């Protein structure tokens, strides 16, 4: 459960906790006064000072969805519009179909996915119609209705595979242009060679120049491989907003870390209940049984509030402790933002420096973000394994990945570097890495193999 939800739930369940900042200073002064009665101290069941001591309760600010009670909050309406499937179904009214044909068309559209593809084969759709709607048809009739749907917008809708999707879109272009004609032939006759980037085979088959091939491929690359995704669907679209837990600023060459606590109120014990306990201690002998039960209930809530505030304060201290050690360990990186400056670091390194358990460090670094002067990063980004160079120096695998990325970006795209060639380059830079390790790092960075990076 997120901290905001925990705090909200605790505030709902425990009336002793308060967020009101007004008059907090005067309340804290009251907390410091001597609330003890003249009775023998040893006979007291408990003391209010155990709960309301300034030394034990410094003001603690916590994040509450980044707005305070003084901020104006307005519900902003939005227009959802129609869904992708509704958009396609609306176009059925623009074509002349019988009632039986409309049933078939609606069944086909219902099987089109959000990318715009018909992944289910026609034979299975035919069986669905027979068993679920008692409609008998044949595959030829379904194919005829599918061809009608494939004329709808967005171009490529209803395609059964990528090849058909691209061809449907290409058919709507100006086929009088030579590059469009060649692109259509490539999709029809040499699609496998195109996807594998075997451009030399395509040029030989059609007897064309590389310049002609490049123009045709440029036309193909303008097509949308997922026509359904081009339709604005605000119902299914989700946006994730990242609010950093830490803010790291570089000021006059020094790194300054702080928790993200903008517009946060104080969390303290409600003065009303403190006054009730004060009245109890001043008039203990005259309290009724019901009053005493009330006081015991308040004592339980005070215990709960004390534990809750201590837990939040401990969480804050743990977060800052771990983050400060990460910054100290990776200081050169945080000063410049250069990945090659990042040292290899594992959870145990930070656990040893903080004295915390590895599981605690893992929980702190999981799903937490830090805002720096060069971007926002998850804490787990700064952890990486190490490897040893020929010189014996240990370096982070992130440093190696960065070098690989730079080599690939600088390569000749007409003759991209193979994994073996990249391994040789790294060896020349004193990084003894095998070809299969290069392939693993490349895949982790979502970089395709050399053949797929080839350009004309």
Rounded distance between C-alpha atoms, residue 295 and residue 386, angstroms: 59
What per-residue confidence (pLDDT) applies to 5? 66
Tokens of 433: 């890495």
List CB contacts of 428: < 8 A, sequence separation 6 or more: none
C-alpha span between 225 and 92 (Å, rounded): 23
| Collapsed DSSP state (helix, strand, coil) of residue 345 | strand
Q: How many angstroms separate the first and last alpha carbons of the chain?
A: 52
Contact 275, 31 (CB under 8 A): no
Rounded CA-CA distance 105/158 in Å is: 11
- Report the distance separating Cα 293 and Cα 68, nearest Å: 35
Query: Using an 8 Å Cβ cutoff, are 413 and 455 in contact?
Result: yes
Provide the pairing of β-strand 369-372 with 375-378.
Answer: antiparallel
Count of C-beta atoms within a 10 Å radius of residue 167: 18
* Side-chain-side CA neighbours of residue 29 (13 Å): 3
Q: Among 111, 204, 194, which Cα is nearest to 159's? A: 111
In this prediction, residue 392 carries a pLDDT of 67
- Predicted pLDDT of residue 380: 87
**pLDDT recorded at residue 400:** 85
Would you list the domain boundaries of the chain? 85-231, 385-453
- Low-confidence stretches of the chain (pLDDT < 70) are 1-5, 19-82, 230-240, 262-266, 281, 392, 456
Topology at the third CATH level for domain 385-453: Arc Repressor Mutant, subunit A (1.10.10)
pLDDT at 315: 84
Whether the CB-CB separation of 402 and 445 falls below 8 Å is answered with no
Query: Residue 158, exposed/middle/buried by CB under 10 A (0-12, 13-18, 19+)?
Result: buried
């Amino acid at each position: 459960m997120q901290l905001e939800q925990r705090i909200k739930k605790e505030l709902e369940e425990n009336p002793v906790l308060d967020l009101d900042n007004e008059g907090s200073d005067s309340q804290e002064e009251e907390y410091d006064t001597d609330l003890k009665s003249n009775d023998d101290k040893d006979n007291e069941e408990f003391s209010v000072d155990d709960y309301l001591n300034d030394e034990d309760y410094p003001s603690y600010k916590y994040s509450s969805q980044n707005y305070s009670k003084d901020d104006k909050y307005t519900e902003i309406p939005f227009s959802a519009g129609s869904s992708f499937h509704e958009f396609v179904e609306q176009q059925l009214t623009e074509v002349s179909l019988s009632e039986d044909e409309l049933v078939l068309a609606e069944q086909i559209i219902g099987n089109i996915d959000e990318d715009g593809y018909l992944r289910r084969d026609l034979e299975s759709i035919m069986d669905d119609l027979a068993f679920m709607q008692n409609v008998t048809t044949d595959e030829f009739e379904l194919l005829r209705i599918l061809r009608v749907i494939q004329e709808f917008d967005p171009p490529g809708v209803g395609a059964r595979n990528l090849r058909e999707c691209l061809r449907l879109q290409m058919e709507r272009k100006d086929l009088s242009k030579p590059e469009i004609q060649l692109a259509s032939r490539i999709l029809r006759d040499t699609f496998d060679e195109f996807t594998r980037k075997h451009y030399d085979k395509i040029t030989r088959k059609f007897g064309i120049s590389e310049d002609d091939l490049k123009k045709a491929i440029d036309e193909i690359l303008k097509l949308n491989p997922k026509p359904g995704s081009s339709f604005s669907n605000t119902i299914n679209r989700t946006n994730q907003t990242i609010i950093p837990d830490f803010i790291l600023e570089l000021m006059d060459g020094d790194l300054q870390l702080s928790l993200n606590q903008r517009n946060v109120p104080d969390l303290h014990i409600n003065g009303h209940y403190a006054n009730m306990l004060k009245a109890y201690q001043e008039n203990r002998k005259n309290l009724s049984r019901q009053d005493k039960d009330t006081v015991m209930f308040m004592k339980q809530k005070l215990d709960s509030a004390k534990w809750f505030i201590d837990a939040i304060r401990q969480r804050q201290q743990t977060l800052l402790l771990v983050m400060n050690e990460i910054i100290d360990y990776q200081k050169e990186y945080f000063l410049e933002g250069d990945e090659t400056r990042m040292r290899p670091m594992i959870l145990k390194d930070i656990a040893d420096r903080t004295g915390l358990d590895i599981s605690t460090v893992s929980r702190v670094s999981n799903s937490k973000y830090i805002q720096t002067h060069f971007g926002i990063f998850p804490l787990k980004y700064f952890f990486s394994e190490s490897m040893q160079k020929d010189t014996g120096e240990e370096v982070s695998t992130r440093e190696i990945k960065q070098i690989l990325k730079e080599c690939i970006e600088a390569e000749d795209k007409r003759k991209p570097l193979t994994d073996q060639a990249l391994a040789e380059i790294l060896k020349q830079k004193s990084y003894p890495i095998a070809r299969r390790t290069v392939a693993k790092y490349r895949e982790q960075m979502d970089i395709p193999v050399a053949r797929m990076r080839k350009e004309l």
